[in-house]
Structure 1
């Protein structure tokens, strides 16, 4: 049974998501459709890339991932199908795959060319669904596109190490449901550049000099609870489950006490600096 995942910026109110699912089942009634997220910020490909990059490998090999973010076809935004890590991705060639495939080379890339035979003003519904169902039936990528060797690169969101190698400049790439702020600075990059030195993380109103392995490590549970003064609301940095540096507030709640995003004044694309001493 084919597994087809959906990641879009369609939201939960409009009919788009339901129409796409219906189209898949009309072509392939045995399909197993899995929603990854439909709440990606509109046209925000870096946010979508973070979600997919940290989700797809949990699915079985051969899973087909439809990415409906910034998918309108233009001369500068063609459609592609990519085989990567034995998974298949169908999306626009808008740079999103360069972020997903930043550490793994694609096995195959084709530029989809079935548009002349399909009338559409909704490419996810009319093009991506047809490609996904073709792949799920065992069809090859060459049938629905011409092979290409490169995908569009997004270099603006790659962390930069300065010439003196005492500073990493990264960005906010994701803000989760708790308002925690995820950066594009990986544990691997941080440790490679740190070389045992002290450091300071700076981002707008916050400065931090320690990174924890998880949220609870920031709390000293040897002190009786009634004597601890900085449990809820404590500012901290952690290596999150995807091994990226994340800025957080212990037990934050964006709708009540606030979150790292609101209290630190951080939003998507904001700069994060790490200096080594």
Structure 2
């Protein structure tokens, strides 16, 4: 039986691009279940795609084939790779998409260079998601071995965009925003396994007056927050989030993916 195929792109849903990819998959892997992780990645935002991928992998069947196409270098000489995380395979451009999944993986990662076989596929120069990634993913889902598709690559040779880990200091941490969701929660690069203090303060130039001093309270759910009080909460994606109860932390702080925030222990 064909493996599940999961799609992650920055294509949006207004154009025919996602539908065309699914059409290719339906033709080449008709028995595969095709699941949309998201097509709402900000255009060209590799760091956000990396977060979405790392967050999604653990919730899918172990043998899922992920097609992760956020590809600013489409049509260029950038490599196309397949990265094995246990039983699942991620087919993606070699541009940093797998970086967070790699950082938080507990097992070995094996990477195959698909560039040579990709170059043999007749394709447009602007839509490799449909013309190259989808057919290769379908072949893998239907049982084609990665050994037959290309040579192995040393993990050290894979492109990374430098997604930072938290920078821990004596009395605080510098953290990076990985994502702001539609509710305005700011997902940080601090893993849920990290123990955080009950009281913190934000040091930043973007703090707006209606947030007050920038005090942050660690809570276990949104309802524990008083109106207008910033909270630090373990989110559903396995990372800490800055949040407001029924409000948008992103709008109040004017932060988005890639921005740096310093959390200091204690109140201002």
Aligned to 2:257: 268
Q: Matches of 1:263 and 1:197 in 2, distance apart?
A: 21
Q: Work out whether residues 110 and 152 of structure 2, in 8 Å CA contact, stay in contact via their aligned partners in 1.
A: yes
Q: Which runs of 5+ in 2 are unaligned?
A: none
| Aligned-pair CA distance for 1:103 | 2.0
CA RMSD of aligned residues (A): 2.1
Of 99, 115, 118, the match for 2:121: 118
Of 183, 188, 196, the match for 1:183: 188
Q: Matches of 2:198 and 2:236 in 1, distance apart?
A: 24
Matches within 5 A, 1:130-169: 130-150=135-155, 151-162=158-169, 165-169=170-174
Matches within 5 A, 1:66-105: 66-70=67-71, 72-75=74-77, 77-104=78-105, 105=107
Matches within 5 A, 1:205-244: 205=207, 207-218=214-225, 230-231=226-227, 233-244=228-239
Structure 1 residues 35 and 96 mapped into 2: Cα distance closer, same or farther (>3 Å)? Answer: same
Q: Matches of 2:39 and 2:133 in 1, distance apart?
A: 16
| Aligned-pair CA distance for 1:144 | 1.3
Q: Work out whether residues 214 and 240 of structure 1, in 8 Å CA contact, stay in contact via their aligned partners in 2.
A: no
Q: Matches of 2:220 and 2:86 in 1, distance apart?
A: 28
Q: Matches of 1:131 and 1:103 in 2, distance apart?
A: 26
Q: Work out whether residues 10 and 69 of structure 2, in 8 Å CA contact, stay in contact via their aligned partners in 1.
A: yes
Q: Deviations over 1:86-134 (max 9, x none)?
A: 2110001111112111121443111112123212222111211122112
Answering whether residue 244 of structure 2 is matched by residue 249 of structure 1, we say yes
Q: Which runs of 5+ in 1 are unaligned?
A: 219-229, 253-258
Q: Work out whether residues 28 and 133 of structure 1, in 8 Å CA contact, stay in contact via their aligned partners in 2.
A: yes
| Aligned-pair CA distance for 1:265 | 1.4
Q: Matches of 1:243 and 1:114 in 2, distance apart?
A: 36
Structure 1 residues 73 and 148 mapped into 2: Cα distance closer, same or farther (>3 Å)? Answer: farther
| Aligned-pair CA distance for 1:198 | 5.9
| Aligned-pair CA distance for 1:11 | 0.6
Q: Matches of 1:235 and 1:210 in 2, distance apart?
A: 6
Aligned length: 252
Aligned to 2:111: 109
Structure 1 residues 172 and 238 mapped into 2: Cα distance closer, same or farther (>3 Å)? Answer: same
Q: Deviations over 1:246-271 (max 9, x none)?
A: 1112112xxxxxx2111221122111
| Aligned-pair CA distance for 1:238 | 1.1
Matches within 5 A, 1:46-65: 46-65=47-66
Larger radius of gyration: 1
TM (normalized to structure 1)? 0.83
Equivalent position SS for 2:252? helix
Q: Work out whether residues 208 and 237 of structure 1, in 8 Å CA contact, stay in contact via their aligned partners in 2.
A: no
TM (normalized to structure 2)? 0.86
